[in-house]
Amino acid sequence: MKKLKINSDVGEGVEWEAELMPFLDSCSIACGGHFGDVFTMRNSVELAIANNVKIGAHPSYPDKKGFGRNKINITNNELKDSIVSQIQGLVDIVNEYNTGLSHVKAHGSLYNTCARDYDLSLLFVEAVKEFQVDSIYAPYKSVLAEVAKRFDLKVVNEVFLDRNYNDDYSLVARNQSNSMILEPNYMLDRYISVILRSSLKTICNSELFIKADTFCIHGDTLNSNNTLKEIYRLYEKKYEPFQN
Give per-residue pLDDT as tens, 101-153. 999 999 999 999 999 999 999 999 999 999 999 899 999 999 999 999 999 99
200, 141 Cβ separation under 8 angstroms? no
108, 67 Cβ separation under 8 angstroms? yes
H/E stretch holding 154: strand 154-160
Share of the chain above pLDDT 70, in %: 98
More confident residue, 244 or 30: 30
More confident residue, 1 or 72: 72
Rounded mean pLDDT of 184-209? 96
Neighbouring CB atoms inside 10 A of 233's CB total 12
pLDDT at 244 (0 to 100) = 44
Going along the chain from its start, the domains and CATH numbers come out as 6-160+213-220 (3.20.20.370)
**pTM (2 d.p.):** 0.95
Torsion of CA 190, 193, 199, 201, to 10 degrees: -40
